[in-house]
Amino acid sequence: MEAAITFERPGFVTRIKGMLGVDFYRLFHTPLFYIFLGIAAIIPALVSMGASAETAGMFTNAWQIIAAESPLYVISDMGEYANMNMVFLFGGIMVSIFIGHDYRSGYVKQLFTTHAKKEDYVISKTLVSAFSMVCMCVTYFIGGTISGTAAGLPFTVNAGSLLCAILGKMLMSLGWASLYTFINLIFRRKFGISIALCFVLGTGIPVIGAAALVGNSGALDIFLYGASVQACLSSDILSVLICLACSLAWTMIYNVLGSVLLYHRDVY
Amino acid sequence: MNAIEIRNLTKSFRGMYALDGPDMTIPQGAIYGFIGENGSGKSTTEKCICGHLVPDRGKITLFGRPYTDAGVRARVGALIENAGCFPSSSVYNNLMMQAINLGLRDRKEQILRVLKIVRMEEHARLAFKKCSLGMKQRIGIAMALLGDPALLILDEPINGLDTDGMKLMREILVDITKNYGCTVLISSHILGELEKIATHYGIIRQGKMIREIAASEMEGRAQSYVSLKTGDIKAAFELLRGDYITEFAEGELRVFDVEDTGRLSAFLLQNGQTISEIKRHKIGLEEYYEECMRGEAN
């Protein structure tokens, strides 16, 4: 006689817990994550050393290694770019490797066999990638503080603004993570394209290019790079809210697009 | 209840149909041997069931529910093409990830249980990339077995295994269906191995299901024949053709539906025929498969 089989329909929380659990487990068990945390900590030191050797006087304050004084959509030299936004660049590479590894190892097949709801994958990857970028922000902050001290730069700052700047950049991690996840889902079979595209978008070149045409415009805050620039040393609670709104809006857009893509396209 | 029901499934790649509307019915608890040539659509069907490929048309139900149902899919285990493990991670860590993915509570116990089933307890700490092909296949089965699956989908799990590996895999599959009530869909080219375990068969050709049959039914239909080599094979043929169904094949005379081989040889000897070789054969899965393929081709 046939044994009766019962199937419990897992709710969203149960499903996402499983997917997040495995992604976090992977994140903490992969050396890549720690390497990127290390890179995020070392970069500020390299930036400050470069500043003292080549462009002396570029940084007048240690916190400029973390964020620019005011929103700068038009970049005139690399020094203006070289702040915590660089985390989003490393984040793009890390997310590409993280998702790319899912596909190359074939593990994605295990995930999609047991997870019929493909949005679980997109949401989980976005959240875990955002978490990794937030961690990089923390190590960048630590690295920036140490290198600022080593370079003998002054630390004078409005603590609230600094906090808003760091918080704003951390919030932007979510939006960036969703963009990178989406790109990696589009080019899931072409790892090289994914990583190159994430790198290019992470530099903010499209927005910097647009800024070169329209100038320093707050309208660019609707884009991820624009809102990331908004989080500067003259930030206030409004900047944080702009970052939050922009990040959430793009996360929703990219997650919906990513889920639709996965539902309508083959995994391979 | 049927574990899998597929109706009119189609899937094309760049305008070429990989699946051209096959129907498939797999009863709960069956070991379903899925047979076909390379590129006939076996893996494509399995990938559609697992949600890896999006079908163009058709209906797939698992245990009476749509295959997109999260509840039923959480109870599907699969080994398709490879184990889907991270090469640098240990066997244990790979299984742990799958256990977390499935939301299992007693993860360690479950991992040890499946490692025991696939006889890999002693290799749990080994990096996946250092495992042999046979070990990787067994790890793939272990991954699929986690979380008490109701349905196992195994794509060529015995490919590349040596004789011992095949025997072990066979034992594992029989064990999990008997003791864990699992339904197994298994595709393989090694028909001799499949014949030893399958309870049902499906034969697919050019994306179409050409035959589905229970092993018991095939057994009932299976003909037996006696192959003969005699001094004068043509004379022997003339002697026998009045009473038996006979044919020439591969340099021998085949005599079908012979009840008493002794009587047949005695008859030939009495009529002056010297028998150099006489063997009784039963038409097995391989012959049945070839017959189906020939019939379909004609």
Q: Tell me the C-alpha distance between A7 and B75, whole Å.
A: 8
- Same domain flag for B50 and B194: yes
**Which chain B residues are closer than 8 Å to A21 by Cβ?**
100-101, 103
Name the residue among A17, A263, A267 with its Cβ closest to that of B103.
Answer: A17
pLDDT at A1: 47
Provide the CB-side half-sphere exposure for B235 (13 A, CA). Answer: 11
Residue A53 has pLDDT above 70, yes or no: no
pLDDT at B191: 87
Annotate A239-249 with b (16+ C-beta within 10 A) or e (fewer).
Answer: bbebbbebbee
Tell me the shortest Cα–Cα distance from B40 to chain A, in angstroms. 19
Please tell me whether residues B121 and B195 are part of one structural domain: yes
Structural domain that includes position B20: 2-214
Do residues B75 and B160 both lie within one domain?
A: yes
Q: What are phi and psi of B284, to 5 degrees?
A: -100, -165
Per-residue pLDDT, A56:
55
What are the residues whose beta carbons fall under 8 Å from the beta carbon of B150, sequence distance 6 or more? A5, A7, B3, B63, B72, B75, B76, B181, B182, B183
Chain A residues in contact with B76 (beta carbon < 8 A): 113-114
Hey, which bits of chain B come out as E strands?
2-13, 16-20, 24-27, 31-36, 57-62, 65-66, 76-79, 151-155, 183-187, 200-205, 208-214, 224-230, 245-249, 252-256, 275-282
- B76 and B138 part of one domain: yes
Look at residue B128 and tell me if it is in a domain: yes
What is the model's pLDDT at position A2? 59
Is the separation of the CB atoms in A21 and B48 below 8 Å?
A: no
- B295 in a structural domain: no
pLDDT for A240 equals 96
* Residue A205, amino acid: I
Question: Are B115 and B184 in the same domain?
Answer: yes
The whole-number mean pLDDT for each consecutive block of 10 residues of chain B, a chain of 298 residues, reads: 95 93 94 92 96 96 94 93 92 95 92 90 94 90 90 87 80 82 89 89 93 86 80 86 81 83 88 87 78 70
Whichever domain contains B235, its CATH number is 3.30.70.790
The number of distinct structural domains making up chain A is 1
Residues B265 and B174 in one domain: no
Global pTM reads 0.86
Residue A51 pLDDT greater than 80, yes or no: no
- Terminal C-alpha separation, chain B: 35
Question: Does A6 reside within a domain?
Answer: no
CA nearest to A102 within chain B? B86
Closest residue of B to A10, CA-based? Answer: B71
CATH number at residue B115: 3.40.50.300
Which domain range does residue A152 map to? 12-264
ipTM higher than threshold 0.90: no
End-to-end CA distance of chain A: 39
Single-letter code of the amino acid located at A50: G
Mutation target to probe the B interface, by most B beta carbons within 10 A, among A2, A5, A128 is A5
A50 confidence band (pLDDT: 50, 70, 90): low
User: CA of B55: which chain A residue's CA is closest?
Assistant: A266
Given a contact cutoff of 8 angstroms between Cβ atoms, the answer to whether A84 and A140 are in contact is yes
- In this complex, is the C-beta atom of B107 within 8 Å of any C-beta atom belonging to chain A? no
Q: Do B123 and B243 fall within a single domain? A: no
Q: Do A21 and B71 make contact, defined as CB atoms within 8 angstroms?
A: no
Q: Which of B161, B188, B214 is the last residue of a domain?
A: B214
Q: CB distance B101–A114 less than 8 Å?
A: yes
Integer Cα distance of A196 and B179 in angstroms: 50
More confident residue, A69 or A176: A176
Q: Determine the pLDDT at residue B24.
A: 96
> What's the Cα-to-Cα distance from B182 to each of B16, B23, B185, rounded to whole Å?
34, 21, 10
CA distance B99 to chain A (A): 8
> Do residues B166 and B244 share a domain?
no
Q: Do residue B235 and residue B169 come from a single domain?
A: no
pLDDT band at A78; cut points 50, 70, 90: low
Is residue A70 included in any domain, yes or no? Answer: yes
